[in-house]
Amino acid sequence: MRSTLFISVFVLLFLISCDKEDSTRPSPEIEGTWDLISYVDHGITGVMTGSCTFRNDGTFIILGTVTYPGEPVDSLDVSGTYQVVAMTLTLTTPDGAGAWSMVFLGDQLVLVGSDPSTRMTLKRRR
């Protein structure tokens, strides 16, 4: 009887600790439309316009422009699939896949590339 009670209490405590652990883990919500704010490519900041939409079916689309100082405007038309695991966002397009670390700052999402001097800033559209 004592071992059954001990096992029951142990299982109950384990389940409570797992539930507590899950509720404190970051579970970022990126679905929806985000305005493009800026893109830093190896330390050079470009001004972005347009939007990025993450759909609930695991697809995304980026439409807009990016302009770097002294260069012509580049059009952006990128689409594919995305996956979020912990705080890493993986974007996959026909050209390949790239992983980005996610940092949430209020209504902004900063995506940091594998090279820390490459990052994209998005602002949630309300």
Dihedral (C-alpha) 117, 45, 92, 29: value to the nearest 10 degrees?
Answer: 90
pLDDT above 60 (res 48): yes
Q: Distance from first CA to last CA of the chain, Å, rounded?
A: 58
Please name each of the domains of the chain with its CATH number: 32-124 (2.40.128.490)
- At residue 18, the pLDDT reads 39
Global pTM exceeds 0.85 = no
Question: pLDDT digits over 78-97, tens only?
Answer: 999 999 998 999 999 999 99
Contact (Cβ atoms closer than 8 angstroms) between residue 60 and residue 120: no
pLDDT above 80 (res 66): yes
Contact (Cβ atoms closer than 8 angstroms) between residue 62 and residue 79: yes
